[in-house]
Structure 1
Amino acid sequence: MLLWGEEFTPGIVGLLASRLVDEHYRPTVVVSLDGDVGRGSARSISEFNLAFALQECHDLFTKFGGHPRAAGFTIPRENLPALRERLPAIARRQLAHLSLQPTINIDAHVRLATLTGENFQFFRDLAPYGEGNPIPVFITKGVKVVDAIRLGAQGQHLKLRLKHEGALWNAMAFGQGDAWHKESELLDIVYRVGMDQWSRSGTLRMIIEDFRPAAGQFTA
């Protein structure tokens, strides 16, 4: 996916590209135009190597750089039509015969009661997180939904109160409001843990990446 225009400011092109990748699971390039110069930001999926793709188009850029999942470049406006022809051709070659579905790499199957402040500090000590050192992702099965509230103008987000083996957690599931069904009392959840920036007491908060109705039984 390649978009360009004067309405895209340099400060938002990276955020917009990331958002489109999250929504469509396709490599995305967004270019901010200022006169005859374009400044682009690209985000990708694990199956498509941006660094190699941009290298194949190097003659079109004034400068470029990045890594397989994120990159940026400066390009003369007159070269954008050529980029629109080349990048999709490269993508078709790299992604041919692949079924593009987003996946989540899970680091550990854990009990919520084990995610204490002490253990969380251990994971914080592993920072900084990034492309080569992603934030740990966990799975817990058979989690009871104590409370669920849909948030956002269209109810697109989900705020949850969860219980598992006596441990209570607050959780947010961004963009997953439509996936929630009231009859789903027990869930299997995939998530990461971080500090609640709105909490004065420094409590932990769970960010849910995905969830599904649980098949097992729950013991409170």
Structure 2
Amino acid sequence: MGRLADSVDALRLLCTTDPKRAQALTVKLNEVNQLRQDQTITMFADARQKVGANRNLVFVQSQNYNEGLVGLVAGRLAEEFHRPAVVVALGPHHAKASMRSIKSFDAIKAIRDLGDLVMERGGHPMAAGFTADAKNLPKIKKQLEAAAARLTDEDLQPETGYDCDLELKQINWELFKELERFAPFGFGNPVPLFYTKSVKLLSFYPVGAENRHLKLKLPGFAGIAFGQGDLAEKLEPGQLIDIIYSIEQNSWNNHSNLELKIKEISL
């Protein structure tokens, strides 16, 4: 609530004994939450398109980003690309940024090392943020990228596990809504991951800059495997694959469907 509006309404809902007042506050809170979700999806889609290839650190910025949502988007980028991610909301004079990181990169130390390039800073090793003069952003980006250049290929490999086995036929909107009750996801509360064995691969094709990602058609669902485009030469339509994935909502042109974000493919 506090990311887009006054969070005091949430407190009022907890404190009120008037059913009509509670109903009105519930409607208002739901509307703000839906707006937050819609804006986060839009920001994330834009940020994802700006991610450069072969970088140890993601750094994206825009005047159109909502400063209250940069942390959510940075978290999704760090999770998806498994590298430190910085998302910056540009203002007329100042920029507000949020960083989400991985275990092998101390976010708050990297920001503290920026010294006078930033005006305010705070956070911890996995999640931190700063406010800076917009003119300092090129230097800030260069210094953070230099710090992340020390990360090894092993550091940038995701630690893939999963929470439980699942059949594709068990995936539906009811399950997705139940999973969403555990949100928000992030450090300390990772998105649930599932394992399905012997899934028939109907078709596939590489997407994105330098064909870095892989789009898959599976029975009943589309799948996207970020950073796994090199698997295209090893796959064949009709073969059986084992997958570890999360269940995501994909919204486009006022239409929503469930999509599998695939973390790992085993042949």
TM over 0.5, shorter chain: yes
Cα RMSD of the aligned pairs, angstroms, is 4.8
Given that 1:10 and 1:39 are in contact with CA atoms closer than 8 Å, whether structure 2 keeps it comes out as: no
Aligned to 2:167: 111
Q: Deviations over 1:15-63 (max 9, x none)?
A: 799869966x5546688999x9776543321233423665687787531
**Residues 161-180 of structure 1 aligned to structure 2 (within 5 Å):** 161-163=217-219, 168-180=220-232
TM-score normalised by structure 1 residue count? 0.61
Q: Deviations over 1:59-114 (max 9, x none)?
A: 87531123432322235789x98xx999988x98xx8x995242234222222222
TM-score normalised by structure 2 residue count? 0.53
Aligned partner letter, 1:208: I
Aligned to 1:217: none
- Select the residue among 116, 140, 157 that pairs with 1:102: 157
Task: Give 5+ residue unaligned stretches, structure 1.
Answer: 214-220
Aligned to 2:203: 147
Q: Against the structure 1 CA distance between its residues 140 and 199, is the aligned structure 2 distance closer, same or farther, given a 3 Å change threshold? A: farther
Aligned partner letter, 2:214: L
Task: Give 5+ residue unaligned stretches, structure 2.
Answer: 1-55
The offset of 1:192, in angstroms, is 0.8
Structure number with higher helix proportion: 2
Aligned to 1:198: 252
Report the Cα distance in structure 2 between the residues aligned to 1:196 and 1:87, rounded to whole angstroms.
31
Given that 1:29 and 1:43 are in contact with CA atoms closer than 8 Å, whether structure 2 keeps it comes out as: yes
Aligned to 2:193: 137
Q: Against the structure 1 CA distance between its residues 29 and 117, is the aligned structure 2 distance closer, same or farther, given a 3 Å change threshold? A: closer
Given that 1:50 and 1:67 are in contact with CA atoms closer than 8 Å, whether structure 2 keeps it comes out as: yes
Percent of aligned pairs sharing the same letter: 33
- Select the residue among 51, 55, 66 that pairs with 2:123: 66
Q: Against the structure 1 CA distance between its residues 159 and 39, is the aligned structure 2 distance closer, same or farther, given a 3 Å change threshold? A: closer
Report the Cα distance in structure 2 between the residues aligned to 1:172 and 1:28, rounded to whole angstroms.
20
> SS of the counterpart of 1:187?
strand
> SS of the counterpart of 2:105?
coil
> SS of the counterpart of 2:128?
strand
Greater relative contact order (CA < 8 Å, ≥ 6 in sequence): 1
**Residues 20-39 of structure 1 aligned to structure 2 (within 5 Å):** 27=84
Report the Cα distance in structure 1 between the residues aligned to 2:80 and 2:221, rounded to whole angstroms.
26
Report the Cα distance in structure 2 between the residues aligned to 1:139 and 1:148, rounded to whole angstroms.
19
Given that 2:96 and 2:132 are in contact with CA atoms closer than 8 Å, whether structure 1 keeps it comes out as: yes
> SS of the counterpart of 2:214?
strand
Say which is worse superposed, 123-132 or 198-207, in terms of deviation.
Answer: 198-207
Q: Against the structure 1 CA distance between its residues 170 and 54, is the aligned structure 2 distance closer, same or farther, given a 3 Å change threshold? A: closer
Report the Cα distance in structure 2 between the residues aligned to 1:202 and 1:29, rounded to whole angstroms.
28
